[in-house]
Structure 1
């Protein structure tokens, strides 16, 4: 078990924890990493038996991808949008620094309230995923996960 003295942002997360926090299967996570959609920034898997280690920002991005999928976006379009954003923002973690909007067909990145207004003026109904609240929600889920892991470890020590 990893030390809990670190803040959520400094903590590394193993694949089973990431799957639980994001709400995806290990198979999805593995596929996304192998195909380059979003790879762990702390430690990549190097063959059988090795483990990936994801940073908090990686988990935030994965949760945003999951929300886009839940909203009806195809993985192909999400992959294209991430690629475009990486180039435009010159960032390895493009989903952390923007608010995403979608009409179910297209993904829009808003860097300011003016851009959001421009999207709405086109008359297309869109939904927003503000990354800040996703980060806060994820921090709460991580603390709950840590508490459950601590309880399980203590129960195991007692022999319950």
Structure 2
């Protein structure tokens, strides 16, 4: 059973939980961590048998990457965008600090409503990902996951 806290994900998330919450395979998560796309901020894997530990913010960023992939972006372009945003924003969590827009070919970072208007003036159809709603959705999914795990643990104790 997971430790409970008033703060969602304060204790961190193990890889199986992250995969469930984000909707990716363990193989994808492992590849993304090993290649530096998004590394776990709480605990990196150190050799065979060790486990990575992801923060809630890490999971939000991973979910944004998954949404960009679902919108048709290539992993190569997502990786390039993350690197550019890290430099521009001087942030280790660049996907948590902006609203992202994508037309499946390009990723736009919107820092204000004026920037979004400029994107539409170019005639591009864009797919918007506001990180705030992703975070709220993920909070609900975390609570549902905890409830499922707790229910499974109780059923195991009873012998059902």
Deviation (angstroms), 1:142: 0.3
RMSD: 0.8
Deviation (angstroms), 1:5: 2.3
Secondary structure of 1:128's match? strand
Aligned length: 160
Deviation (angstroms), 1:127: 1.2
Q: Measure the CA separation in 2 of the matches of 1:40 and 1:122.
A: 37
Secondary structure of 2:9's match? helix
CA contact (8 A) 1:11 1:56 kept: no
Deviation (angstroms), 1:2: 2.8
Higher mean displacement: 1-10 or 121-130: 1-10
Describe the shift of the 1:9–1:146 C-alpha distance in structure 2 as closer, same or farther (beyond 3 A).
closer
Secondary structure of 1:10's match? coil
Secondary structure of 2:100's match? strand
Q: Which has the higher contact order (CA 8 A, sep 6+)?
A: 2
Query: What TM-score, normalized by structure 1, do the two folds share?
Result: 0.98
After TM superposition, list the pairs within 5 Å mapping 1:1-160 onto structure 2: 1-160=1-160
Q: Measure the CA separation in 2 of the matches of 1:121 and 1:43.
A: 44
Q: Structure 2 stretches of 5 or more lacking a match?
A: none
- Deviation per residue, 1:11-62 (Å, 9 max, x gap): 3000000000000000000000000000000000001000000000000000
Q: Measure the CA separation in 1 of the matches of 2:147 and 2:9.
A: 17
CA contact (8 A) 1:43 1:53 kept: yes
Would you identify which runs of 4 or more consecutive aligned residues in structure 1 move more than 3 Å? none
Deviation (angstroms), 1:9: 4.7
CA contact (8 A) 1:8 1:139 kept: yes
Describe the shift of the 1:9–1:127 C-alpha distance in structure 2 as closer, same or farther (beyond 3 A).
same
